A and B are shown apart, each in its own frame.
Chain A
Amino acid sequence: MGTGYNSYGAPGLIDMPVATSPPDAELAFTTSSFAGQTRNTLTFQMTPRLSGSFRYSVLDDFLDAPGGSDTLYDRSLSLHYRFMDEDVAGMRPAIAIGSGGFTNPLSVLGDRFERRPDRDANLGGEVEADQLFRGDAAFFGGMEWQVTDKLKLIAEYSSDDYQRESRFAFDPESQLNFGATYTLRPGIDLSLRYLYGSEIGVQLSAALNPLNRPYKSGRAPAPPPVMPQASAAALSWGDMLERQGSLRQQLSDALNQQGIRLHGFELNQASIRVDIENKAYLQQAQAIGRTARVLSRRMPARIETFSIVSVASGMPVSEIRIRRSDMETLEHEVDGSWQSFARAQIASPVRATQPVPERYPNFDWSLKPYLTPSLFDPDDPLRADVGAEISARYEPLRGLEFSGSIRKKVIGNLDEATRRSDSVLPRVRSDFSLYDKEGDPALTDLTAGYYFKPGKNLYGRATVGYLERMFGGVSTELLWKPNDSFFAIGIETSYVKQRDFDQGFGFQDYDVVTGHVSAYSELGNGFHAQVDAGRYLAGDWGATFSLDREFKNGWRVGAFATKTDVSSSDFGEGSFDKGIRITVPLSWLTGEPNRDGFSTTIRPVTRDGGARLDVDGRLYDRVRPLQKPALQDGWGRFWR
């Protein structure tokens, strides 16, 4: 029987947790309501045993709520860890441990462990360790009966007497809860409950799993078949020197059809080097595989070795050398994927080739819709703007990019926010509602960026202009990332000035020198850790810790927290900056080759401490997908 989600959105029955876990990597959104309490929860099964939940609760008729209102809004995080499994014979039970909340901004909810020390209505955001394992132990339990494939009946005995809430919202008359859960579609459950002898509850949960990609190998058109070298020999290659131009042009056209742009071309006696830019595929390995196939069809028979260099922002990042004969012998091999990876030589190229003449200068533009939600404002917890964004990019020569974007709102209510910042720090982020209100249309960014590779494993960036919606200035970055390394280190220094609220060309008075030393590490099993230590926009010093689980299909789910020398009381609500972030690749949804995705960062509250400059084009994200570990992860697509 599958593990369901309780009213807190955690693995559980009705109001109580269970000691089993949903499948690894399951991501579930749950909304549940009873007795004037609405809980919206996002739960992610981070590892097979550990799950984390972010919860946003609205409690009506809560007379103790601060600020005179009788509605309480609460954001909380909780964890669920299953440390022992049921044994095969069913003699030893599964055991899990859960925490009711590292809560924020107020901690009054969901105490599974009764009668803890009194809690202060505080700023929240801090782990209240004295609340853990306190209070009387209590028994709770329940039964589930899977009646049909779609219908499940649940009965439970709850240990929660709703001591805090009962004075206002409801009086528990019984500790027995009953529920029925109906599966509308796979992953989508609707539940009706009768709780505590007096209340009716309803819950909807929607779960999906990034591991279960709807279109597994994707819906991209088939790659061109490899052409045997012998067939290529049959084609006549007369005066090669003279024909080199047209050969390059043909190759460029053939690669373009595959969503690959030719950046460099160097034909030698028995080998060819092509520098490519991948415009289509999330996995660079797929772009390399298709390039090698195209080369097998286009190159004269004397060419024995293909050297394919992946280029990012004009920087040659990695070089893959493939023997032409391997393309032929392995194309239809049952284990061709691994065999071709094992035989490919992957290195970091030192030398750059001359860009092909048609590559620079280059201009492109795009018009896209945008959606910017704003969550958790107590006046209106869900606001959003929808509009159009026009972006343009001009690349006059290798490594140099001019780019800019303008947004025009079409409809939305972000400008209705009336809460103004009460921050005692420089208001580097907390004035966001003024930017929302006045920035229509907004010049979101207008920059000149220069990318260069000063050493074999070094990458550099300098960006000047209107870097992001709130700051403009100069930003420089240097990254050290060897090709086959799971570790990288970078340094970024910026001098920025705060932009006017209308996001035109003007600046305000506030300026700051900000910068970080960043350490990036792949921990294995798809986990990526990052530490950024340095000076933040408000002039505060500290560090950001991030942990992401990255799936090999492009999904990312992660969390971050920043602690700086700003005290909790100066920081204000939330005590320190933190949030969760999710990236969903478009190719996962549609099955079509595409490098774009939807990314969102959910912060319980936006304050000024621990705020980092949001400059585009950070090097780690541009370099890493082209290097050996990422190539290996995606090599299954080499022949796709």
Chain B
Amino acid sequence: MRSLPLFAQRPRRALPVLALAACALILAFGGCDRIGPALDVTGKVEQVPPRPIAAERLRVVLPTTGADATLAPVSRRGDVTVWQTLDGITVTFRGGVLIATRGLGDDLMSSDVQNTLAMLRGSASSQYYPQIRSHLDGENQTRFRSYQCRRNDLSVQQTRIGTITRSLTRVTEHCVSPDNETTNTYWLDPTGTVLKSRQWVRPDIGYMETEYVRR
């Protein structure tokens, strides 16, 4: 199986056999699978299969739900990349920082992460900076939430990415909102590209772990 490295870890929750079979089939061609709990009782919108625009993949793990999927890039504009699962969920990153989810339940609709990106580039050493995120409330109204964030820690570590161990810069970012405190962790290569991360999504999902898979 050529695509085995993409599935170094098995999904922790048993998936239906059919879904697994479909997964394996698509994996062979595209390498992208599912992370959403499919219900689809009354659904009228199809899960359109991803049309990858490049060969690289992003492995996404949601430790709290046990989801483990490999996503394909379906759109890239400037520093924004949209990655899609097989079951029609997308996660969007700007310069490796999560800015949106779609189809993941209480979706992150949008984010302003300019200050985080500046921090990752090395500026604003220990200053607090704002980060804005938006969600939809129960009446479809956009609700913005503001976080105050600062860089917490910076170190160089030997880090395993897939099967290769590399020397990466590990940066942690501590963010505080009126409701919660979160810590995001980014592993950057010498060019400043985020190869690996652990980023806060929302309370019921917790953190999302990502790992860049070059092919």
Contacts and interface: CB of A to CB of B under 8 A. Distances in A.
B90 A334 contact: no
Given A221-B89, A225-B82, A332-B100, A636 B142 contact: yes
Q: Could you say which interface size class chain A belongs to? A: 35 or more
A211 interface: yes
Contacts of B40: 592
Interface in B32-90: 36, 39-48, 74-75, 77, 80, 82, 84, 87-90
A494 interface: no
A280 B138 CA distance: 19
B136 to A, nearest CB: 4
B142 A219 contact: no
Nearest to A592: B43
8 contacts: A216-B135, A217-B106, A219-B39, A220-B45, A221-B103, A224-B74, A332-B110, A334-B132
A552 interface: yes
Nearest to B89: A222
A257 B43 CA distance: 11
Contacts of A110: none
Given A222-B90, A336-B110, A337-B109, A636 B141 contact: yes
A86 interface: no
Interface string A196-239: 00000000000000111101110111111111100000000000
A224 B89 CA distance: 10
B121 interface: no
A335 interface: yes
A528 interface: no
A336 B99 CA distance: 12
Interface of A: 210-213, 215-217, 219-228, 257-259, 279-280, 283, 328, 331-338, 551-553, 586, 590-594, 596, 633-634, 636-637, 639-640
B44 A280 contact: yes
Contacts of A338: 142
Contact of A211 (B84, B88, B105, B139): B139
B92 interface: yes
B140 interface: yes
Contact of B103 (A219, A331, A633): A219
B140 A552 contact: yes
A250 to B, nearest CB: 13
Nearest to B141: A636
A222 B135 CA distance: 15
A330 B142 CA distance: 15
Contact of A216 (B41, B47, B106): B106
B44 A553 contact: no
B110 A335 contact: yes
B179 interface: no
B211 to A, nearest CB: 21
B94 interface: yes
A225 B75 contact: yes
Nearest to B47: A221
B49 to A, nearest CB: 10
Contacts of B48: 221, 224, 257-258
Contacts of A257: 45-46, 48
A586 B110 CA distance: 26
A638 to B, nearest CB: 10
A586 B44 CA distance: 12
For the complex of A and B, the 6 pairs showing the least CB-CB separation, nearest first, are A221-B88, A225-B75, A222-B102, A213-B138, A552-B139, A222-B90
Nearest to A290: B45
Contacts of A212: 138
B184 interface: no
Given A337-B142, A637-B140, A640-B102, A220 B92 contact: no
A208 to B, nearest CB: 11
A223 B102 contact: yes
Contacts of A328: 77
Contacts of B193: none
B90 A634 contact: no
A220 B141 contact: no
Contact of B138 (A211, A222, A333, A335): A211
A258 B45 contact: yes
Contacts of A637: 136, 140
B90 A225 contact: yes
A633 B111 contact: no
A592 B36 CA distance: 13
B189 interface: no
